[in-house]
Amino acid sequence: MEKPILATNIDGFLIKHNAFIEPHKAWFDKAIKLTGDKTLEKWKGKKDYFRGVDLAMEKIMPKASSKERTTQAREWYQESVIDYIKSENSKLIYHEVVDSLKKLKQKFTLALITVNTKEYINDILDAAHLTGIYDIIYATPSSEKPDKSKIFQGFTKKYGKPKYYVAARSKEAFEECLRLGTLCIYVSWDEFNPEIAEIANDQAKNPRELEAKLIAA
């Protein structure tokens, strides 16, 4: 009998959000330096930040195709994430979560669904010393813009619907999982988001609580 799929993200769940937001800010700092366009500052942290990425890359690579610009932009960002994790590793990892996932692996097929790119996600996990945890890693190509709805649809088509989705961020990801009929558990040990807490099927405030809920399920 196949084990049910327990899917997670990593941002704010296994790795602190700093590892992703600081390189995001640094990306726009780099773009401002390359273009001289200080108005790009306003896109930092925005939900639709990739509009700012597109504007910057059109100036940086005016003769390139849209896919080429997207690929380069995402490569710069992912390389920055890897460098940041390597420099701050011990401060960024939620080690209790790692221990819990190793126990839960006996009961579930562990899947990582991430809008980090498939070209770099293994390097990110390696930098964080998190290799070997997941049975399935499903990520986006560097040439595509990050799209949380699209990635969950693609995962479900290839592997089937996850029984559980556990994550710390992205209301859009939770909305898509709920639409698919997956049971969503929101974890709040990185930061609390009341909008996600309101729509999730369940919550866990710490890794032990999460582990207990899933073992009992």
Q: Are residues 100 and 86 in the same domain?
A: no
Q: Which pTM was predicted?
A: 0.92
Q: Quote the pLDDT of residue 30.
A: 95
Q: Quote the pLDDT of residue 133.
A: 95
What's the CA gap between 43 and 73, in Å, rounded? 14
What average pLDDT score do residues 178-196 get? 92
**Exposure b/e, 184-199, CB count within 10 A at least 16 = b:** bbbbbbbeebeebeee
Q: Are residues 30 and 109 in the same domain?
A: no
Q: Quote the pLDDT of residue 181.
A: 92
Backbone phi and psi for residue 144, each to the nearest 5 degrees, phi listed first? -105, 145
Domain boundary among 34, 68, 90: 90
Q: Quote the pLDDT of residue 10.
A: 95
Q: What is the dihedral of CA 58, 150, 118, 2, to 10 degrees?
A: 180
Residue 52 has pLDDT above 80, yes or no: yes
Q: Are residues 63 and 27 in the same domain?
A: yes
Q: Are 185 and 201 in contact (CB under 8 A)?
A: yes
What pLDDT, in 10s, does the model give residues 94-116? Answer: 999 999 999 999 999 999 999 99
Q: Are residues 79 and 103 in the same domain?
A: no
Domain region containing 141: 5-16+93-216
Q: Quote the pLDDT of residue 38.
A: 95
Report the domain count for the chain.
2
Residue 200 has pLDDT above 70, yes or no: yes
Q: Are residues 108 and 186 in the same domain?
A: yes
Q: Are residues 53 and 66 in the same domain?
A: yes
Q: Quote the pLDDT of residue 217.
A: 77
What average pLDDT does the chain have? 93
What's the CA gap between 88 and 83, in Å, rounded? 9
Residue 90 has pLDDT above 80, yes or no: no
Q: Are residues 148 and 197 in the same domain?
A: yes
Q: Are residues 108 and 167 in the same domain?
A: yes
What's the CA gap between 30 and 34, in Å, rounded? 6
Residue 139 has pLDDT above 90, yes or no: yes
Share of residues in the chain with pLDDT > 70 (%): 100
Residue 76 has pLDDT above 70, yes or no: yes
Strand partners, 15: 11, 93
Q: Quote the pLDDT of residue 216.
A: 82
Residue 120 has pLDDT above 80, yes or no: yes
What pLDDT, in 10s, does the model give residues 147-163? Answer: 988 999 999 999 999 99
Q: Quote the pLDDT of residue 1.
A: 62
What pLDDT, in 10s, does the model give residues 25-40? Answer: 999 999 999 999 999 9
Q: Are residues 135 and 151 in the same domain?
A: yes
